[in-house]
A and B are shown apart, each in its own frame.
Chain A
């Protein structure tokens, strides 16, 4: 399940862009889920762990991925840290829910991300309450951001 702490949170990795560049592992890039996220968000194809084919930049290294995709890959692969997911646009919201389908995921949000109109399951760590739709999420978390 996706667990979100809204607002200031201690010991969060805020600059996910720089953190990713210095810690990512090759196998993170070639995982099927990473390939899908890179294709959807950055419109790019993973050729191998060190080469991604972008329609804008041509063949590029993973360091050139968007801040949003870097953050998603970190959240999926590095459970030892909590990451600032406000580096992700709304087009990353469905992927956050996907990553958290089969494991506990904790993220920090400093803005109100749009998780869509459908049903979902998110625990707001500020209050401990689990919410199942956007309306309840706004009610529960709106005051913290």
Chain B
């Protein structure tokens, strides 16, 4: 398991990741996009962003355009991806992800059969005020 916390003046995310691939789904308005945007800012400006990131592993957001370059450099990290449907080479991306030792957090409601089922946990983002956390939905990907 891997635990990470991400926070700024408005929100706190406390995430427990039990498998290498976490698919985050759930209702709109629960802060999924806000977390990805925070991780994007943090990846570009780790100190200057003012975003606090702590936990078992370093964290980074993957860029749509430079993911190949990024994945070559990221080891033993927690990597956040936006909607994976935007990545044109999805299967290539998935294969590259599975060759690494990183944990991955993806936001998608689609089924992604490219990932082995044993490596995947489906979660929902929950929120109460500024606190956010993940709860497992089931081991199924649908």
**Given known contacts A56-B130, A111-B110, A145-B111, A14 and B86 CB-to-CB distance under 8 angstroms:** yes
**Given known contacts A56-B129, A86-B109, A145-B110, A110 and B29 CB-to-CB distance under 8 angstroms:** no
B contacts with A, residue count (CB < 8 A): 22
Q: Is B85 an interface residue (CB 8 A)?
A: yes
B29, A42: Cβ atoms closer than 8 Å:
yes
Distance, CA A113 to CA B26, complexed state (A): 11
Instruction: Indicate the size class of the contact surface on chain A.
Output: 20 to 34
Q: Is A66 an interface residue (CB 8 A)?
A: yes
B111, A111: Cβ atoms closer than 8 Å:
yes
Closest residue of A by beta carbon distance from B130: A56
B29: A residues at CB distance < 8 A: 41-43, 66, 68-69, 89, 91
CB distance from A19 to the nearest CB of B (A): 12
A15, B130: Cβ atoms closer than 8 Å:
no
- Most chain B CB within 10 A, of A42, A66, A84, is at A66
- Most chain B CB within 10 A, of A58, A67, A69, A110, is at A67
Q: Is A87 an interface residue (CB 8 A)?
A: yes
Give B contacts to A, CB under 8 Å: 10-11, 25-34, 83, 85-86, 109-111, 127, 129-130, 142
Give A contacts to B, CB under 8 Å: 14-15, 17, 41-43, 55-58, 64, 66-69, 84, 86-92, 110-113, 145
6 closest Cβ pairs, A-B complex: A68-B28, A89-B27, A111-B109, A89-B28, A91-B27, A66-B29
